[in-house]
Amino acid sequence: MQKVGFIFDLDGVIVDTAKYHYRAWKKLANDLGFEFTEEQNELFKGVSRKRCLEILLDIGAIEASQEQFDTWMVEKNLDYLAYIDAMDASEILPDVSKILKFLENQNIPIALGSASKNARPILEKVKLLPYFDFIVDGNSVTEAKPNPEVFLIAAQKMNVEPECCIVFEDAVAGIGAANNAKMTSIGIGDADVLSEADFNFRDFTEIDLEFIKELVGV
């Protein structure tokens, strides 16, 4: 039997940091003189910080020099970091820990595959970092999802063939990246939105250990 590995996205899968991203982007938009809605924030799911700022400036019809652009990138991240600084284990989404504990007990490799550049400090804050054998985040990649780079690097680090990797994702771009990597994709969220996923669940409370055992082959 071939070795399997599990890869988790961070935002919207393990913790809901999307609300903090939204608050930080909204603050920046307001500072620049325009509104930024929750509906518009959907465009930012699974997208790099640089691309998010490009989209935000398009929404506000604002042109920026490279120096202004870089400054706003830093300002947004500082606001976001201030929000996540108060995070603790209560922010872990329901039943995520149950799945992580099961995989750890089975000695199955676990990796994080996230666009976030703040993945490690967030995992430390919520006390989940010890579960992850490898962290592949926005500091480790050059291509954004749906490019499969982040997941392929995770597979390589785990020494698992891509087709034997199982990916948990909440974003269309993330599901696309997993599918492009020829991995098993599990959508967490709205099944209509994540219709390209191999499996769909509203959240981890709908995933029982029998399903995980079937994927693992135990």
pTM to 2 decimal places: 0.86
Q: Which of 134, 122, 35 is nearest to 80 (CA)?
A: 122
Q: What is the CATH number of domain 18-84?
A: 1.10.150.240
* d(C-alpha 110, C-alpha 143), whole Å: 22
Residue spans of the domains in the chain: they are 5-16+88-216, 18-84
9 among known catalytic residues: yes
The reply to whether CATH 3.40.50.720 applies to domain 5-16+88-216 is no
Domains 5-16+88-216 and 18-84 share a fold: no
CB of 123 closer than 8 Å to CB of 161: no
Q: Which of 11, 79, 137, 170 is catalytic?
A: 11
Q: What is the pLDDT along the chain (218 residues), one digit of tens a residue?
A: 579 999 999 999 999 888 899 999 999 999 999 999 999 998 887 678 899 999 999 999 999 999 999 999 999 999 998 999 989 999 999 999 999 999 999 999 999 999 888 899 999 999 999 999 999 998 999 898 999 999 999 999 999 999 999 999 999 999 999 999 999 999 999 999 999 999 999 999 999 999 999 999 86
Torsions phi, psi of 95, nearest 5?
Answer: 70, 5
9, 79, 137, 170: the catalytic one is 9
Strands 134-136, 110-113: pairing is: parallel
31 is a catalytic site residue:
no
